[in-house]
Structure 1
Amino acid sequence: MPTKVRSTAETRERILTAACEVIAEAGFEKIRMRMVAERAGVSTALLHYHFDTREKLFTEAMTHSFAHTALDAERDVDTAPAAVVLARILRNLLPTDPELHQDWRLWQELWARALRDETTRAFAVDLYAQLHAWVAGAVRRGIESGEFTPTDVDDLSTLVLSLSDGYGIRLMLRDPTVTLDRALTAIWRHVAAALGLPETLPET
Protein backbone atom coordinates (compact mmCIF):
# COMPACT_ATOMS: atom_id res chain seq x y z
CA MET A 1 0.00 0.00 0.00
CA PRO A 2 1.45 3.42 -0.96
CA THR A 3 2.62 5.54 1.99
CA LYS A 4 0.07 8.30 1.35
CA VAL A 5 -2.83 5.85 1.15
CA ARG A 6 -1.66 4.08 4.30
CA SER A 7 -1.34 7.40 6.12
CA THR A 8 -4.86 8.43 5.09
CA ALA A 9 -6.27 5.08 6.23
CA GLU A 10 -4.45 5.34 9.55
CA THR A 11 -5.78 8.88 10.08
CA ARG A 12 -9.35 7.75 9.41
CA GLU A 13 -8.87 4.82 11.79
CA ARG A 14 -7.60 7.16 14.51
CA ILE A 15 -10.50 9.56 13.99
CA LEU A 16 -13.12 6.80 14.07
CA THR A 17 -11.62 5.26 17.19
CA ALA A 18 -11.68 8.67 18.86
CA ALA A 19 -15.26 9.29 17.71
CA CYS A 20 -16.42 6.00 19.23
CA GLU A 21 -14.81 6.94 22.54
CA VAL A 22 -16.20 10.47 22.65
CA ILE A 23 -19.73 9.53 21.57
CA ALA A 24 -19.82 6.74 24.15
CA GLU A 25 -18.63 9.08 26.89
CA ALA A 26 -20.60 12.24 26.14
CA GLY A 27 -23.50 11.14 23.93
CA PHE A 28 -24.06 12.14 20.32
CA GLU A 29 -26.11 15.24 21.06
CA LYS A 30 -23.33 16.73 23.19
CA ILE A 31 -20.29 16.04 21.04
CA ARG A 32 -18.62 18.63 18.90
CA MET A 33 -16.27 17.92 16.02
CA ARG A 34 -13.54 19.74 17.93
CA MET A 35 -13.80 17.21 20.77
CA VAL A 36 -13.20 14.33 18.39
CA ALA A 37 -10.34 16.13 16.65
CA GLU A 38 -8.60 16.75 19.98
CA ARG A 39 -9.01 13.10 21.03
CA ALA A 40 -7.67 11.90 17.68
CA GLY A 41 -4.79 14.35 17.72
CA VAL A 42 -5.71 15.97 14.40
CA SER A 43 -6.83 19.43 13.34
CA THR A 44 -10.51 20.21 12.97
CA ALA A 45 -9.78 21.03 9.31
CA LEU A 46 -8.42 17.52 8.75
CA LEU A 47 -11.38 16.01 10.58
CA HIS A 48 -13.81 17.93 8.34
CA TYR A 49 -11.85 16.80 5.29
CA HIS A 50 -12.69 13.18 6.16
CA PHE A 51 -16.14 13.77 7.69
CA ASP A 52 -17.95 16.96 6.82
CA THR A 53 -20.86 16.48 9.26
CA ARG A 54 -21.42 14.98 12.71
CA GLU A 55 -24.02 12.66 11.21
CA LYS A 56 -21.56 11.14 8.74
CA LEU A 57 -18.99 10.76 11.50
CA PHE A 58 -21.55 9.01 13.70
CA THR A 59 -22.64 6.51 11.06
CA GLU A 60 -19.05 5.76 10.09
CA ALA A 61 -18.15 5.29 13.75
CA MET A 62 -20.99 2.79 14.20
CA THR A 63 -19.92 0.87 11.09
CA HIS A 64 -16.31 0.92 12.30
CA SER A 65 -17.35 -0.41 15.71
CA PHE A 66 -19.37 -3.27 14.20
CA ALA A 67 -16.59 -4.23 11.76
CA HIS A 68 -14.05 -4.56 14.57
CA THR A 69 -16.44 -6.64 16.67
CA ALA A 70 -17.08 -9.03 13.77
CA LEU A 71 -13.38 -9.32 12.96
CA ASP A 72 -12.56 -10.39 16.51
CA ALA A 73 -15.34 -12.97 16.71
CA GLU A 74 -14.55 -14.64 13.39
CA ARG A 75 -10.83 -15.26 13.83
CA ASP A 76 -9.88 -18.79 12.70
CA VAL A 77 -13.42 -19.15 11.32
CA ASP A 78 -12.27 -21.79 8.82
CA THR A 79 -10.67 -24.03 11.45
CA ALA A 80 -12.53 -23.43 14.72
CA PRO A 81 -15.58 -25.59 15.56
CA ALA A 82 -18.82 -23.95 14.43
CA ALA A 83 -20.15 -23.93 18.01
CA VAL A 84 -17.07 -22.01 19.19
CA VAL A 85 -17.50 -19.37 16.47
CA LEU A 86 -21.19 -19.00 17.31
CA ALA A 87 -20.38 -18.70 21.02
CA ARG A 88 -17.84 -15.97 20.22
CA ILE A 89 -20.48 -14.08 18.27
CA LEU A 90 -22.90 -14.39 21.17
CA ARG A 91 -20.31 -13.02 23.60
CA ASN A 92 -19.66 -10.13 21.22
CA LEU A 93 -23.36 -9.29 21.09
CA LEU A 94 -23.32 -8.55 24.83
CA PRO A 95 -21.31 -6.00 26.86
CA THR A 96 -18.78 -8.62 27.97
CA ASP A 97 -15.69 -6.37 28.19
CA PRO A 98 -14.87 -2.63 28.32
CA GLU A 99 -14.63 -2.30 24.52
CA LEU A 100 -18.00 -3.99 23.98
CA HIS A 101 -19.46 -1.90 26.81
CA GLN A 102 -18.42 1.14 24.77
CA ASP A 103 -20.02 -0.38 21.67
CA TRP A 104 -23.26 -0.81 23.60
CA ARG A 105 -23.22 2.86 24.54
CA LEU A 106 -22.95 3.65 20.84
CA TRP A 107 -25.93 1.39 20.09
CA GLN A 108 -27.96 3.14 22.77
CA GLU A 109 -27.15 6.46 21.13
CA LEU A 110 -28.18 4.99 17.78
CA TRP A 111 -31.53 3.74 19.12
CA ALA A 112 -32.36 7.11 20.69
CA ARG A 113 -31.46 9.06 17.57
CA ALA A 114 -33.25 6.60 15.25
CA LEU A 115 -36.53 7.32 17.02
CA ARG A 116 -36.31 10.97 15.97
CA ASP A 117 -34.46 10.88 12.65
CA GLU A 118 -35.56 8.91 9.58
CA THR A 119 -32.08 8.67 8.06
CA THR A 120 -30.68 7.26 11.28
CA ARG A 121 -33.62 4.85 11.55
CA ALA A 122 -32.87 3.46 8.10
CA PHE A 123 -29.19 3.15 9.01
CA ALA A 124 -30.06 1.30 12.23
CA VAL A 125 -32.30 -1.13 10.33
CA ASP A 126 -29.45 -1.78 7.89
CA LEU A 127 -27.02 -2.44 10.74
CA TYR A 128 -29.46 -4.92 12.23
CA ALA A 129 -29.64 -6.64 8.85
CA GLN A 130 -25.85 -6.98 8.95
CA LEU A 131 -25.99 -8.39 12.48
CA HIS A 132 -28.68 -10.84 11.37
CA ALA A 133 -26.55 -11.95 8.41
CA TRP A 134 -23.54 -12.35 10.73
CA VAL A 135 -25.38 -14.70 13.09
CA ALA A 136 -27.17 -16.50 10.26
CA GLY A 137 -23.91 -17.08 8.41
CA ALA A 138 -22.37 -18.79 11.43
CA VAL A 139 -25.45 -20.98 11.90
CA ARG A 140 -25.54 -21.96 8.21
CA ARG A 141 -21.85 -22.90 8.23
CA GLY A 142 -22.47 -25.20 11.18
CA ILE A 143 -25.48 -26.82 9.49
CA GLU A 144 -23.59 -27.30 6.22
CA SER A 145 -20.63 -28.90 8.03
CA GLY A 146 -22.94 -31.28 9.88
CA GLU A 147 -22.06 -29.83 13.28
CA PHE A 148 -25.55 -28.36 13.84
CA THR A 149 -28.99 -29.87 13.50
CA PRO A 150 -30.89 -28.13 10.66
CA THR A 151 -33.25 -25.41 11.85
CA ASP A 152 -35.00 -22.25 10.65
CA VAL A 153 -31.87 -20.09 10.41
CA ASP A 154 -33.60 -16.72 10.09
CA ASP A 155 -35.94 -17.45 12.98
CA LEU A 156 -33.08 -18.49 15.26
CA SER A 157 -30.96 -15.47 14.24
CA THR A 158 -33.81 -13.10 15.04
CA LEU A 159 -34.29 -14.79 18.41
CA VAL A 160 -30.58 -14.52 19.25
CA LEU A 161 -30.50 -10.79 18.43
CA SER A 162 -33.69 -10.11 20.37
CA LEU A 163 -32.47 -11.96 23.45
CA SER A 164 -29.07 -10.27 23.23
CA ASP A 165 -30.69 -6.84 23.06
CA GLY A 166 -32.94 -7.60 26.00
CA TYR A 167 -30.26 -9.00 28.26
CA GLY A 168 -27.73 -6.43 27.08
CA ILE A 169 -29.94 -3.52 28.14
CA ARG A 170 -30.41 -5.05 31.58
CA LEU A 171 -26.65 -5.52 31.90
CA MET A 172 -25.98 -1.93 30.84
CA LEU A 173 -28.47 -0.79 33.48
CA ARG A 174 -26.55 -2.90 36.02
CA ASP A 175 -29.77 -4.67 36.95
CA PRO A 176 -28.78 -6.80 39.99
CA THR A 177 -31.09 -9.63 38.90
CA VAL A 178 -29.22 -10.19 35.62
CA THR A 179 -25.59 -11.27 35.44
CA LEU A 180 -23.46 -11.80 32.37
CA ASP A 181 -23.13 -15.53 33.06
CA ARG A 182 -26.88 -15.86 33.48
CA ALA A 183 -27.53 -13.99 30.24
CA LEU A 184 -25.04 -16.08 28.27
CA THR A 185 -26.39 -19.30 29.70
CA ALA A 186 -30.00 -18.39 28.98
CA ILE A 187 -29.36 -17.37 25.38
CA TRP A 188 -27.14 -20.37 24.68
CA ARG A 189 -29.83 -22.69 26.04
CA HIS A 190 -32.15 -21.62 23.23
CA VAL A 191 -29.35 -21.90 20.66
CA ALA A 192 -28.35 -25.35 21.89
CA ALA A 193 -31.93 -26.64 21.79
CA ALA A 194 -32.41 -25.44 18.21
CA LEU A 195 -29.09 -26.79 16.93
CA GLY A 196 -28.79 -30.05 18.87
CA LEU A 197 -25.81 -28.88 20.94
CA PRO A 198 -24.79 -29.41 24.60
CA GLU A 199 -26.28 -26.77 26.92
CA THR A 200 -22.83 -25.81 28.23
CA LEU A 201 -21.49 -22.71 26.48
CA PRO A 202 -18.23 -23.59 24.65
CA GLU A 203 -14.97 -22.00 25.72
CA THR A 204 -13.92 -19.38 23.20
Structure 2
Amino acid sequence: MAGSTAADRGREVRRRLLRVAAELIAERGWTAVSTRMLAERAGVAPGVVHYHFSSVRALLAEAALGVIGDVVEQAGPALARAATPGEALGLMMGLLEDHDGRDATSLLFTEAYLAATRDEGLRRSLAEVMTGFRRRLAGHLTEHAVPFPEATAAVLAAAIDGIVLHRALGPGLEASDVAPVLHRLVTPLDRHAPDDDRPPPRKAGESA
Protein backbone atom coordinates (compact mmCIF):
# COMPACT_ATOMS: atom_id res chain seq x y z
CA MET A 1 0.00 0.00 0.00
CA ALA A 2 1.28 3.44 -0.94
CA GLY A 3 2.42 5.39 2.07
CA SER A 4 2.09 2.44 4.46
CA THR A 5 4.83 1.75 6.94
CA ALA A 6 6.42 -1.58 7.79
CA ALA A 7 4.37 -1.59 11.00
CA ASP A 8 1.16 -1.03 9.03
CA ARG A 9 2.01 -3.86 6.67
CA GLY A 10 2.85 -6.11 9.60
CA ARG A 11 -0.49 -5.41 11.26
CA GLU A 12 -2.31 -6.10 8.01
CA VAL A 13 -0.51 -9.45 7.58
CA ARG A 14 -1.35 -10.35 11.17
CA ARG A 15 -5.03 -9.52 10.62
CA ARG A 16 -5.04 -11.56 7.42
CA LEU A 17 -3.52 -14.56 9.19
CA LEU A 18 -6.17 -14.36 11.92
CA ARG A 19 -8.95 -14.17 9.34
CA VAL A 20 -7.52 -17.10 7.39
CA ALA A 21 -7.05 -19.14 10.57
CA ALA A 22 -10.71 -18.68 11.48
CA GLU A 23 -11.74 -19.79 7.99
CA LEU A 24 -9.54 -22.89 8.11
CA ILE A 25 -10.73 -23.93 11.58
CA ALA A 26 -14.26 -24.11 10.21
CA GLU A 27 -13.27 -25.71 6.90
CA ARG A 28 -10.65 -28.26 7.96
CA GLY A 29 -10.96 -28.69 11.71
CA TRP A 30 -8.63 -27.44 14.43
CA THR A 31 -6.07 -30.23 14.34
CA ALA A 32 -5.82 -30.31 10.54
CA VAL A 33 -4.66 -26.70 10.12
CA SER A 34 -0.95 -26.46 9.33
CA THR A 35 1.58 -23.70 8.83
CA ARG A 36 1.65 -24.47 5.12
CA MET A 37 -2.13 -24.13 4.78
CA LEU A 38 -2.12 -20.84 6.65
CA ALA A 39 0.73 -19.42 4.60
CA GLU A 40 -0.74 -20.47 1.26
CA ARG A 41 -4.21 -19.09 2.03
CA ALA A 42 -2.78 -15.82 3.39
CA GLY A 43 -0.29 -15.45 0.54
CA VAL A 44 2.80 -15.28 2.73
CA ALA A 45 5.89 -17.39 3.31
CA PRO A 46 5.63 -20.03 6.07
CA GLY A 47 8.22 -18.19 8.13
CA VAL A 48 5.94 -15.17 8.31
CA VAL A 49 3.37 -17.20 10.24
CA HIS A 50 5.87 -17.94 12.99
CA TYR A 51 7.21 -14.40 12.91
CA HIS A 52 3.83 -13.08 14.03
CA PHE A 53 2.73 -16.00 16.23
CA SER A 54 4.68 -18.28 18.53
CA SER A 55 2.92 -21.35 17.14
CA VAL A 56 0.04 -22.47 14.95
CA ARG A 57 -1.87 -23.34 18.12
CA ALA A 58 -1.44 -19.79 19.42
CA LEU A 59 -2.67 -18.38 16.10
CA LEU A 60 -5.72 -20.64 16.07
CA ALA A 61 -6.57 -19.77 19.65
CA GLU A 62 -6.37 -16.02 19.04
CA ALA A 63 -8.42 -16.31 15.85
CA ALA A 64 -11.13 -18.39 17.52
CA LEU A 65 -11.32 -16.18 20.60
CA GLY A 66 -11.65 -13.13 18.38
CA VAL A 67 -14.64 -14.56 16.53
CA ILE A 68 -16.27 -15.90 19.68
CA GLY A 69 -15.75 -12.61 21.49
CA ASP A 70 -17.38 -10.71 18.63
CA VAL A 71 -20.41 -13.02 18.66
CA VAL A 72 -20.83 -12.74 22.42
CA GLU A 73 -20.57 -8.96 22.24
CA GLN A 74 -23.56 -8.88 19.90
CA ALA A 75 -25.71 -9.89 22.85
CA GLY A 76 -24.76 -6.73 24.74
CA PRO A 77 -26.94 -4.33 22.74
CA ALA A 78 -29.80 -6.86 22.90
CA LEU A 79 -29.68 -6.84 26.69
CA ALA A 80 -29.44 -3.07 26.78
CA ARG A 81 -32.51 -2.65 24.56
CA ALA A 82 -34.65 -5.25 26.29
CA ALA A 83 -37.32 -3.99 28.66
CA THR A 84 -37.95 -7.46 30.13
CA PRO A 85 -36.04 -10.76 30.44
CA GLY A 86 -38.46 -12.33 27.96
CA GLU A 87 -37.68 -9.63 25.43
CA ALA A 88 -33.95 -10.10 26.01
CA LEU A 89 -34.33 -13.83 25.42
CA GLY A 90 -36.26 -13.17 22.21
CA LEU A 91 -33.55 -10.89 20.91
CA MET A 92 -30.84 -13.42 21.74
CA MET A 93 -32.78 -16.18 20.04
CA GLY A 94 -33.03 -13.91 17.01
CA LEU A 95 -29.24 -13.92 16.81
CA LEU A 96 -29.43 -17.69 16.25
CA GLU A 97 -31.28 -17.37 12.97
CA ASP A 98 -28.00 -17.16 11.03
CA HIS A 99 -26.51 -20.21 12.74
CA ASP A 100 -27.74 -23.65 11.76
CA GLY A 101 -24.87 -25.59 13.34
CA ARG A 102 -23.11 -26.08 10.00
CA ASP A 103 -22.23 -22.49 9.18
CA ALA A 104 -18.63 -21.32 9.60
CA THR A 105 -19.20 -19.57 12.94
CA SER A 106 -20.99 -22.55 14.48
CA LEU A 107 -18.26 -24.92 13.32
CA LEU A 108 -15.57 -22.63 14.73
CA PHE A 109 -17.35 -22.61 18.12
CA THR A 110 -17.55 -26.41 18.10
CA GLU A 111 -13.90 -26.83 17.16
CA ALA A 112 -12.77 -24.31 19.77
CA TYR A 113 -14.77 -25.94 22.55
CA LEU A 114 -13.33 -29.32 21.67
CA ALA A 115 -9.78 -27.95 21.49
CA ALA A 116 -10.26 -26.30 24.88
CA THR A 117 -10.68 -29.72 26.49
CA ARG A 118 -7.04 -30.39 25.59
CA ASP A 119 -5.58 -26.88 25.92
CA GLU A 120 -5.73 -25.38 29.40
CA GLY A 121 -4.81 -21.89 28.23
CA LEU A 122 -7.57 -21.87 25.63
CA ARG A 123 -10.01 -23.29 28.18
CA ARG A 124 -9.27 -20.46 30.61
CA SER A 125 -9.62 -17.82 27.90
CA LEU A 126 -12.91 -19.24 26.65
CA ALA A 127 -14.21 -19.49 30.20
CA GLU A 128 -13.38 -15.83 30.75
CA VAL A 129 -15.35 -14.78 27.66
CA MET A 130 -18.36 -16.89 28.62
CA THR A 131 -18.24 -15.84 32.26
CA GLY A 132 -18.40 -12.23 31.17
CA PHE A 133 -21.48 -12.94 29.08
CA ARG A 134 -23.18 -14.87 31.87
CA ARG A 135 -22.39 -12.10 34.36
CA ARG A 136 -23.95 -9.50 32.08
CA LEU A 137 -27.03 -11.66 31.54
CA ALA A 138 -27.31 -12.41 35.26
CA GLY A 139 -27.25 -8.69 35.99
CA HIS A 140 -30.19 -8.16 33.66
CA LEU A 141 -32.09 -11.04 35.24
CA THR A 142 -31.39 -9.69 38.72
CA GLU A 143 -32.82 -6.31 37.79
CA HIS A 144 -36.06 -8.03 36.84
CA ALA A 145 -36.34 -10.28 39.88
CA VAL A 146 -35.74 -13.56 38.05
CA PRO A 147 -34.94 -16.25 40.65
CA PHE A 148 -31.42 -17.68 40.79
CA PRO A 149 -30.10 -15.22 38.18
CA GLU A 150 -26.52 -16.56 38.02
CA ALA A 151 -27.61 -20.18 37.59
CA THR A 152 -30.34 -19.19 35.14
CA ALA A 153 -27.85 -17.22 33.05
CA ALA A 154 -25.50 -20.22 32.96
CA VAL A 155 -28.29 -22.58 31.90
CA LEU A 156 -29.48 -20.19 29.17
CA ALA A 157 -25.96 -19.81 27.78
CA ALA A 158 -25.48 -23.58 27.74
CA ALA A 159 -28.90 -24.08 26.17
CA ILE A 160 -28.16 -21.68 23.32
CA ASP A 161 -24.85 -23.42 22.64
CA GLY A 162 -26.59 -26.79 22.74
CA ILE A 163 -29.33 -25.69 20.35
CA VAL A 164 -26.74 -24.72 17.75
CA LEU A 165 -24.84 -27.97 18.28
CA HIS A 166 -27.96 -30.10 17.85
CA ARG A 167 -29.08 -28.17 14.80
CA ALA A 168 -26.04 -29.54 13.01
CA LEU A 169 -27.49 -33.03 13.39
CA GLY A 170 -30.62 -32.32 11.40
CA PRO A 171 -33.64 -30.07 10.99
CA GLY A 172 -35.62 -28.81 13.93
CA LEU A 173 -34.95 -26.77 17.05
CA GLU A 174 -36.02 -23.53 15.42
CA ALA A 175 -35.91 -20.46 17.62
CA SER A 176 -39.68 -20.17 17.49
CA ASP A 177 -40.00 -23.73 18.82
CA VAL A 178 -37.60 -23.51 21.76
CA ALA A 179 -38.20 -19.90 22.81
CA PRO A 180 -41.41 -20.68 24.76
CA VAL A 181 -39.57 -23.36 26.73
CA LEU A 182 -36.61 -21.11 27.55
CA HIS A 183 -38.97 -18.28 28.36
CA ARG A 184 -40.08 -20.19 31.44
CA LEU A 185 -36.56 -19.90 32.84
CA VAL A 186 -36.71 -16.11 32.87
CA THR A 187 -40.26 -15.76 34.19
CA PRO A 188 -40.38 -14.79 37.88
CA LEU A 189 -42.01 -17.53 39.93
CA ASP A 190 -44.91 -15.35 41.03
CA ARG A 191 -45.90 -14.87 37.40
CA HIS A 192 -46.40 -18.58 36.71
CA ALA A 193 -50.02 -19.57 36.47
CA PRO A 194 -51.15 -21.74 39.39
CA ASP A 195 -52.09 -24.52 36.97
CA ASP A 196 -48.80 -24.67 35.10
CA ASP A 197 -47.14 -28.01 34.56
CA ARG A 198 -44.72 -27.91 37.46
CA PRO A 199 -45.19 -30.98 39.65
CA PRO A 200 -46.92 -30.26 42.97
CA PRO A 201 -44.74 -30.31 46.09
CA ARG A 202 -44.55 -33.71 47.75
CA LYS A 203 -45.93 -34.18 51.23
CA ALA A 204 -43.69 -35.12 54.09
CA GLY A 205 -42.77 -38.78 53.86
CA GLU A 206 -44.07 -39.16 50.31
CA SER A 207 -41.70 -41.02 47.99
CA ALA A 208 -40.47 -39.54 44.69
TM-score (norm 2): 0.70
Q: Which residue of 2 aligns with 1:26?
A: 28
Letter in 1 for 2:158: S
Give the Å deviation of 1:24: 0.6
Structure ID, larger Rg: 2
Shifted more, 52-61 versus 177-186: the winner is 177-186
- Name the CA distance, whole Å, in 2 between partners of 1:76 and 1:158: 17
**1:91 Cα offset (Å):** 4.6
The Cα offsets for residues 111-146 of structure 1, whole Å up to 9 and x where unpaired, read as: 33344x2xx1452254134213213213414644xx
Report if aligned partners of 2:93, 2:175 keep a CA contact under 8 Å in 1.
no
Counterpart check, 1:191 vs 2:186:
yes
The structure-2 alpha-carbon separation of the partners of 1:75 and 1:88, relative to structure 1 and needing over 3 Å to count, comes to same
Partner of 1:162: 158
Farther off after superposition, 9-18 or 26-35: 9-18
Q: Which residue pairs with 2:64 in the alignment?
A: 62
- The one-letter amino acid paired with 1:81 is A
Residue of structure 2 in register with 1:199 after alignment? none
Amino-acid identity (%): 22
C-alpha separation in 1, matches of 2:163 and 2:13:
35
What secondary structure, in the 3-state scheme, does the structure 2 residue paired with 1:173 have?
coil
- RMSD after superposition: 3.4
Q: Distance in 2 between matches of 1:24 and 1:4?
A: 31
* Structure 1 unmatched ranges of 5 or more: 197-204
Work out the CA distance in 2 between the residues paired with 1:195 and 1:30: 52
Q: Distance in 2 between matches of 1:77 and 1:178?
A: 23
Partner of 1:200: none
Contact 2:145 2:188 in 1 (8 A): no
Give aligned pairs, total.
187
Alignment equivalent of 2:148, drawn from 147, 152, 166: 152
- The TM-score, its normalising length taken from structure 1, stands at 0.71
1:136 and 2:135 correspond: yes
SS of equivalent to 1:45: helix
